[in-house]
Amino acid sequence: MSRTKPLIFLLVIPFLFFILSHTIPLLYGIGLSFYNWRGKFVGLTNYSAVLRDSMFWNSLRFTLTYALIVALSMTFLGLFLGVFINQLKIGQTLVKSVILIPWAISLTAWGLLGQVALSKQFGVINDLLVRFGVIKSGVAWLGEPNLAKISVIVSRIYKDVWFSALLFLVARQTIPTELYDESKVCGAGSWQNFWYITLPLLKPNILFIGTVLFIFALQEFDLIFALTEGGPGFATEVASINIFRQGVRYGKYEYATAVATIWSLIVTVFVIIIFAPLQKRAIEK
């Protein structure tokens, strides 16, 4: 018992360091949001200004739309890809190595590559579509608001859906093979196996991976900033870019911390009120 206490204390130290290293800057930022640029206490003025700012609500709306589409697409596409890869008899190890290549590329580099690929003048996407007769001339994928939104969403899905597939592949391989052997004896086919064995047993994994992907997508910055910088106009501006623009570009640090505080509160509410109960319910079932 005397040896256990020091060990527990040693484990508590890094945990306390983690809490303090995050809590102190958070509290400092929240405190800063109650002042103006002159250092004068203004109470909730910054928060009131944020809630009246249409650009904040536009960035919030696109962030939630972007995160929801990306998370759902990557979850279900990753699920089907993971199950498909699991069925491969030859070359599965090679496939697992290759699909990690896009995930290993940084989001900033991927965004810059996307700029080149989606360029109206010399982009490979337009070149291929023109060659196959899908379009007659180059399309400004990043120059028109709706097309830009679609482009950043598809670019994000295409980059990391392979990592999602790998997670589902690992989860699928934890399911006992005896269940599939028994279903085969009963005459069940591949679709029946997927619907009645694979899908129910992977439900906790689906919710967990989907939740993690959604939270990561809410924090998106690098790829969209490198690809469009939130443009054209502010069409693809997400919450993190809005905070960056207000704080770094415009120098409105106090206002930006108010935006960050509100955004952090929204994310926290999403996680605690919506996703945490779903996870608990899935585990209990």
SS (H, E, C) 133-147: CCCCCCCCCCCCHHH
Residue range 104-125: average pLDDT?
A: 91
Contact between residue 79 and residue 141 where contact means Cβ atoms under 8 Å apart: no
Rounded Cα–Cα distance for residues 269 and 78 (Å)? 27
Alpha helices (H) in the chain, listed in sequence order? 4-32, 45-52, 54-87, 92-98, 100-104, 107-117, 124-131, 145-172, 177-185, 190-193, 199-201, 203-218, 222-227, 239-244, 253-269, 276-284
More confident residue, 128 or 13: 128
Which pLDDT belongs to residue 266?
85
Contact 147, 139 (CB under 8 A): yes
Whether 122 and 189 have beta carbons less than 8 Å apart is answered as no
- Rounded average pLDDT over 280-284: 59
Higher per-residue confidence, 213 vs 8:
213
Most confident of 82-91, 199-208, 234-243, 262-271: 234-243
Question: Do the beta carbons of residue 246 and residue 259 sit within 8 Å?
Answer: yes
pLDDT in tens, 179-198: 888 888 877 778 888 888 88
Tokens of 81: 């890809």
CB atoms within 10 A of CB 163: 18
Structure tokens at 251: 């120098």
Asked whether the predicted pLDDT for residue 283 surpasses 60, the reply is no
Least confident span in 160-164, 239-243, 280-284: 280-284
Per-domain residue ranges of the chain: 55-284
Nearest CA to 257 out of 52, 10, 36, 13 is that of 36
pLDDT at 190: 80
The pLDDT mean for the chain works out to 87
For the chain, how many residues are written? 285
In this predicted structure, what is the pLDDT of residue 183? 82
pLDDT (tens digit per residue) in 69-107: 999 999 999 999 999 988 888 888 888 888 888 888 899
> Which pLDDT band holds residue 1 (cuts at 50, 70, 90)?
very low
Name which CATH class applies to 55-284.
Answer: mainly alpha
Given a cut of 70, whether residue 224 has pLDDT beyond it is: yes
What Rg do the C-alpha atoms of the chain give, in angstroms? 23
Rounded to whole angstroms, the Cα distance separating 229 from 221 reads 9
pLDDT (0 to 100) of residue 285: 57
The SS3 assignment for 41 reads strand
Is pLDDT of 2 > 90?
no
